[in-house]
Chains A and B, each alone.
Chain A
C-alpha cells in the first residue's frame, strides 16, 4: 500500500513532468520571441515550482540543480541577462537533465553527473558577479512588464487531515501565497475537537484567504499544485475591476455564505424574514459558526474596499483523475453497452410493450453515458504537436537545415490511448520529412525555394475519424527510385506497372529505404514499417500524396477512440464478424454468375470499376457450402477499394472492443472480439492485415 508520502512524491513527479513539458514549449517559443515577458515569466515559474516542490518532497538533487537555472531566469526577468540562443540551448539541456534526474528517481538510468556540472557551470557563468556589476555600472533595465489589473480572489484551502504525515506544512503554502499579493488569511478552527479526541498528528485547520494580486489565477493554483489531489482547494475571482459595475456594492453576507456552501438558500430565506443582521441570526441559531461569518465579513469588507464586482471563474472547477480510473469507467460502460444490447434483443423477442419501452430508455441513456464517458478521455492533440517542435529544432540544427514547424488544429481532440500511441509514428514521419524531404538551404535556393523549409502538422475531424497530416515543402518522393528499390528488394516484378499511389505505399514495407546513405536520423528502412504497424494497430490508415520537387503530404486517418467503435456485423456460416464501419463504403451482391464470369479471378465489376475481393470463408477456412448469392463489403484501405465476401450482412453494430488475450495475441487479421446481444462472440476483423495476408498468399502462390 502506498503511503501518503509516496502519493505526494508521485504527485510531484506527475506535475513536474507536465511542467517540464510546458517548459520545453515555452523555451522554444521564447527563442522565437526573446522579448516576451510572459514567456520569460513562465520559464521562471516552472523552474521556481520544480525547485520549491522538489525540496519539499525530498528531491534535493533536482532542487539544487534547478536553483541556478531559476537564478538566471530571475535575472532575465529583471532585464539583466538577455535571452540568447545560447541561453535557450543551455536551458533546454538543463530541462533534459532534470527529466533524466526524475527518471532516475523512478528507477531509470542515473543522470550524467559530469554533464550536469557542465550545465550548472554554464548557468553560473551567466550570473554577473558583483564586481563586474560595479565596473559596468547599473545594468540598463528593461521597462517593467505591463502588469495585470489587480483582482481579488477567494481561496478556500482545507488540507487533508493527514497532511502533516506527508511532511507538508500548510502554513508554508500560505506563506507562498502571501508572496503573490496582499493576503488576508482567515483560519477556520471549527473542526478542532476536544483534547480527548485530538490526534496530535492531524490537521484540523482550514483557511479562507482573500488575496488581491496582479497575478493570474493559475499562479495561485500553482501554490497548491502538489497537494490539490488530496486537499480541498478552490480559487474564485471575487473581484475583477474590468467587470466593475457598481464600485461600492458587493454581495450581502447571506449571499456570500450561500455561495460558499456554508448555508443553504432556504435557510437564508427563513432567517431573513426575522430582519436582524444576518450573520448574528445565523450564529445565534447555530446554523453557521462565528468564524465562518467573520470570514465572510472580512471578504465583504475587502471587496468593498477595493470597489469591485465578483466574477466567477469556471477554470477552477477541474478535477485531476488518474487515467486508470477513467479506463475502468470506460470498461464498465463497455460492459453496460453489451448488457443493453442483450436487453434490447430480449425485448424484441418478447415483444412486450412495457419491456420494449424500458429497453429503449436504457438504450438512450447508455448511448448518452457512453458519449459522455468517452469524451472525458478526449485530449487535444496540441500537446503532442508541441512536443515535436523540439525534435524539428534539434534535427534541423544537426543536419544543417533551416526548418520551421507550423501547426493547425491543435485543439482537435482524440482519445488519450490513441494520442499516447501516436507519438512514435509521428516522430518517424517528421524525421523522414526533415532528413529525406526537405533539402539543404543551398539546394533549395538553387531550385528557387525559400531557404527555410516548412513542416506543417495539422489535425481535423472527419466523421468518426481524425485526419492528421504531415506536410513538407521538400523534394517530394521520387517514383522512379522507389520502383528501382522495390524491384531490387524483390517487392515487385520489373515489368510491374503500378500506379503512383501504390508505389508510394511501398515505402511502408519492411526494410524499404531509398535514402542513399544511412544517417543517425533515418534511412535504415525501419521507421516507415513501424509507422504502418502502429497506425494499423490503431485501426487507422495512411495516405501519401507527393509531387516531385514540391513536397509530400502524409495523411493519417485515425479513429476517435479505441474503446467502442461502430462496426458492420456480418455472418459467414454460423460465425459472426465485425468490420470497422469507418472503412466500409458500400455493400453489393455477388452472384454465382459474376463469379463464373471472372474465370477464377477474385474481381468484380462495380459500375465499371474493377474491384478485387477476398473471400473470408476461404481465408478463415470456414466449413460449409457457399451461398448462391453472397455479399461483398467494399472497404477503402490506403486509397484502394477492396471487397470482403461474406454470407450475409446483418447491419450496423455498436462494438465494444475486447482484447483477444495472450494466446491469440499474434492471430493475424483480427483486432479483437466483441460480445453480441445473444451472448455469442464476434471477432473484429483487421482488414488491413487481411489484405496483407491475401497479398502474401498470392505472392507465395505465384512464386
Chain B
C-alpha cells in the first residue's frame, strides 16, 4: 500500500510505503514518487511498514533522491531501521556510500531522516 499525507504547510509530505516492494510494484512506486515529489519541496519516505524490498525499488529510491537534488528539493528517508530494509540495502552493497552522481555536499540519502 502507498499512502501520501501532505503537511499543512504544503511544503512537505510523507509517502508511507507498506507491504512488499519488489519489481512487480516498481512501476507503481515510480509513478507515486514522480507525482508526490512534484507536489512538495521535501518528500519524506517512510519505510517502517515495508515487508520486502528488492533491488529494483532500492534503485528507485536512489533515483528519487537524485531527481530531488536536480530540482533543488529534498528527499528524506524515515523508518530506515526497519530490519527488512536494513538487510536489503546491506545485501545489495549500498552500505557505506550514496549514489556517486549526487552532489557531495548533500546529506547522504541513507543517512538522512528520522524514524
Q: Which of B86-111 contact A (CB under 8 A)?
A: 88, 91-101, 104
Q: Which of B56, B93, B104 has the most CB of A within 10 A?
A: B93
Q: How many A-B residue pairs have CB under 8 A?
A: 96
Q: Which of A274-325 contact B (CB under 8 A)?
A: 283, 289-292, 294, 298
The CA of A194 and the CA of B88, in the complex, are separated in Å by 22
Which residues of B come within 8 Å of A, CB atoms? 23, 26-27, 29-30, 33-34, 37, 54-56, 59-60, 62-64, 66-67, 70, 88, 91-101, 104
> If A171-B54, A194-B66 touch, does A205 touch B92 (CB 8 Å cutoff)?
yes
Q: Determine the chain B residues whose CB is within 8 A of the CB of A203 once the complex forms.
A: 55-56, 59
Q: Determine the chain A residues whose CB is within 8 A of the CB of B100 once the complex forms.
A: 188-190, 289-292
Q: How far is the CB of A514 from chain B (nearest CB, A)?
A: 68
What residue of chain A has the Cβ atom nearest to residue B71's Cβ? A194
What residue of chain B has the Cβ atom nearest to residue A175's Cβ? B91
The CA of A209 and the CA of B92, in the complex, are separated in Å by 11
Q: Determine the chain B residues whose CB is within 8 A of the CB of A169 once the complex forms.
A: 54-55
The CA of A193 and the CA of B101, in the complex, are separated in Å by 9
Binary flags per residue of A204-219, CB closer than 8 Å to B gives 1, else 0: 1101010000000000
A200 at the binding interface (Cβ < 8 Å): yes
> If A171-B92, A175-B91, A200-B30 touch, does A192 touch B59 (CB 8 Å cutoff)?
yes
A388 at the binding interface (Cβ < 8 Å): no
The CA of A203 and the CA of B56, in the complex, are separated in Å by 7
> If A169-B55, A292-B100, A298-B96 touch, does A192 touch B66 (CB 8 Å cutoff)?
yes
What residue of chain B has the Cβ atom nearest to residue A200's Cβ? B26
A88 at the binding interface (Cβ < 8 Å): no
Q: Determine the chain A residues whose CB is within 8 A of the CB of B88 once the complex forms.
A: 171
* Interface range, A side: 20 to 34
The CA of A290 and the CA of B98, in the complex, are separated in Å by 9
Contact B67 A204 (CB under 8 A): no
The CA of A603 and the CA of B46, in the complex, are separated in Å by 99
The CA of A198 and the CA of B63, in the complex, are separated in Å by 8
Contact B92 A201 (CB under 8 A): no
The CA of A193 and the CA of B100, in the complex, are separated in Å by 11
Q: What are 9 residue pairs bridging A and B, where the CB atoms are less than 8 Å apart in the complex?
A: A174-B93, A185-B91, A186-B97, A187-B94, A189-B99, A192-B62, A192-B66, A192-B101, A291-B97
The CA of A196 and the CA of B91, in the complex, are separated in Å by 27
Contact A186 B96 (CB under 8 A): yes
What residue of chain B has the Cβ atom nearest to residue A292's Cβ? B100
Contact B63 A193 (CB under 8 A): yes
Contact A190 B101 (CB under 8 A): yes
Q: How far is the CB of B43 from chain A (nearest CB, A)?
A: 11
> If A174-B93, A185-B93, A195-B30 touch, does A204 touch B54 (CB 8 Å cutoff)?
no
